[in-house]
Amino acid sequence: MTIHRFFVSEQSFRQNLVIIEDKDLIAQIAYVLRGRKGDLVVFLDNKGFEYESELISFSKNKISAKILNKKENLNEEKQEIVLYQAITKSLDKFELILQKCTELGVKAFVPVITERCQRDFLPKKERLEKIIKEAAEQSERGIVPELLEELNFESALKSAAENGGGVVCYERKLKIELKELKIRNKKINIFIGPEGGFSDKEIELVKSFGDKFRFMSLGKRILRTETAAIVAVVRILF
């Protein structure tokens, strides 16, 4: 039997109960999933703990559940990956990146505006955050990755440089020694370019940061930006 999992706010936890007052979540549990008294569900606090609970009461504006067991979620990766992803022309591609990289274990996403991006902002953020949350629930994660504010490429590099540097995926360079990189940094910032890749000017900007950034090839073939993001995360983690 599938036990459904839901991230809920800190205010939902009240002593040995979970009180759900969010209308969308009430509708999902009561009508979409046809939840009933006695059903088991897992609620997550977005701090790394999960609470196996039994649904005990339903009303139009509230669902109550009794906490049966609290335990630490052990599904988070030790290697913290922040994905600096160039904003894609198609929002569908960005949604795919968020969904799949959440499933793989990325800790946070930073939308980046580069020279060859055809968008200078990220629309429908509420929808994108919902996609991340649902992917985190589906993949049994203990936290919901953050979707941070857009940064231009130079600002993104400065931010990452202040937090340990990172890798820039670039089709013209040989692969780096991943074992060495993982030993050096618990947190790894990965940069993925847009359709059309990084410009020569942007590559020179990366080099100006010295040893803060290293270039990484993803193979002999040229990958789409959404494919590159997934492959880069897999290579770093696995």
5-72 CATH, one of 2.40.240.20, 3.30.365.10, 3.30.470.20, 1.20.120.80: 2.40.240.20
Domain ranges, ordered by start, for the chain: 5-72, 80-237
Does this chain's domain 5-72 share its CATH topology with 80-237?
no
Domain 80-237 has CATH 1.10.1740.10: no
pLDDT of residue 79: 87
| CA dist., res. 114 & res. 120, Å (int) | 8
Report the Cα 68 to chain-centroid distance in Å: 29
- Non-local CB neighbours of 71 within 8 Å, separated by 6+ positions: 49, 50, 52
| CA dist., res. 25 & res. 215, Å (int) | 43
pLDDT of residue 2: 81
Closest CA to 144 of 55, 233, 229, 43: 43
| CA dist., res. 182 & res. 16, Å (int) | 40
And the tokens for 5?
Answer: 């999992």
- Non-local CB neighbours of 130 within 8 Å, separated by 6+ positions: none
What string of pLDDT tens digits covers the 238 residues of the chain?
689 999 999 999 999 999 999 999 999 999 999 999 999 999 999 999 999 999 999 998 999 999 999 999 999 998 899 999 999 999 999 999 999 999 999 999 999 999 999 998 999 999 999 999 999 999 999 999 999 999 999 999 999 999 989 999 987 665 555 555 655 667 899 999 999 899 999 999 999 999 899 998 888 888 999 999 999 999 888 8
How many Cα neighbours within 13 Å face the side chain of 210?
Answer: 4
